[in-house]
Amino acid sequence: MLIATLGDLVLDVIVRLEADLVPGDDRPAETRVAAGGQAANVAAWVAATGGTARFVGKRGADAAGELVSHELVRRGVEVVGPASGRTGVVVSIAAAGERTMASDRGSAPDLSEDELDPAWFDCDVLHISGYSLHRGPLAVAAVRAAALARASGARVSVDLSTWSAIDDAFRDRVRAVAPDVVFAGERERDVFGPLPTSWVVKRGAAGVLVDGETLAAVPADVVDATGAGDAFAAGYLVGGPGVGLEAAARCVAQLGAMP
């Protein structure tokens, strides 16, 4: 199964703290630098769970862009799309199993509709990160990508990504995509409102709701929750909710969002 993902490929700077930060002072930390971005994370987990993965997006034409592209390819993902501008950076601070993020998306939102190659969307599933639908030109390109994918016979899924950025323009774009599957947290689902689709609601340690059916999470020793939802979405698309829950458990037991 070939799953294409559309969205961001950025540089993740992951900081794991043993104690809370203190303004104006130092704290010991474990750090890691890796490729990241929701769509890139999903693509990497697709490859790790037995699928064939293609990432579509714009990344920076700089040293960081070369680094993150190489890492994604090394993980078995085909990387397509233009390289220009600068690579985005996301700083993720992990403590007590939770994470706080500061995001700079770089040139990722600048992917335009006329830069798309229809061949990129010849796939079985196109998974669109909700961040891709927040602002143009990428938001317009994402709606066009969904149409190209459907023309090739693909299903389309969307992850709502974040509740705080859901507005009427975002809702209109999601409805234009007409996803077959929507991944969301409970608050994201509630803020978005009704949508005729298959809902997969991610509930962290409480597991998931798949079209109203509750499925328990796979037990794990939580090190870092970053990317768990992306791992679940990838596994779900490759092999169903059981594969997704196993992938999420693997993800939270390590530092970082990628397998």
Percentage of residues in the chain with pLDDT exceeding 90?
76
Q: At what angle do helices 241-252 and 38-48 cross, to 10 degrees?
A: 110
Range from 4-18, 90-104, 181-195 that averages highest in pLDDT: 181-195
In the predicted structure, residue 256 carries a pLDDT above the cut 80: no
Determine the average pLDDT of the residues in 49-74: 95
Q: Where are the domains of the chain?
A: 2-7+37-87+105-252
| C-beta of residue 241 within 8 angstroms of C-beta of residue 208 | yes
Nearest residue to 132 (alpha-carbon basis) of 99, 103, 159? 159
What contacts 204, CB < 8 A, 6 or more positions away? 217, 225, 228
For the residues 9-35, what does the mean pLDDT come to?
84
Q: Count other C-beta atoms under 10 Å from residue 115's C-beta.
A: 13
Q: Is the separation of the CB atoms in 43 and 55 below 8 Å?
A: yes
Q: Tell me how far apart the alpha carbons of residues 100 and 98 are, in angstroms, rounded to a whole number.
A: 7
Give the tokens for residue 122.
């010849």
CB 228 within 8 A of CB 251: yes
State the pTM of this model.
0.91
What is the pLDDT, as a whole number, of residue 223? Answer: 81
Residue 24 has pLDDT above 80, yes or no: yes
The count of other CB atoms within 10 Å of the CB of residue 113 is: 15
- CB 259, CB 250: distance < 8 Å: yes
Helix or strand holding residue 145 (H, E): helix 138-151
Beta carbons of 237 and 253 less than 8 angstroms apart: no
Q: Where are the beta strands (DSSP E) in 45-95?
A: 52-56, 77-80, 87-95
Report d(CA 41, CA 129) in Å as an integer: 10
Mean pLDDT of 88-104: 79
Question: Helices 38-48 and 228-239 sit at what angle, rounded to 10 degrees?
Answer: 50
| pLDDT reported for residue 96 | 65
| pLDDT of 32 above 90 | no
In this predicted structure, what is the pLDDT of residue 98? Answer: 66
Q: Which fold has domain 2-7+37-87+105-252?
A: UDP-N-acetylmuramoyl-L-alanine:D-glutamate ligase (3.40.1190)
Residue 255 has pLDDT above 90, yes or no: no
pLDDT band at 56 (very low <50, low <70, confident <90, very high): very high
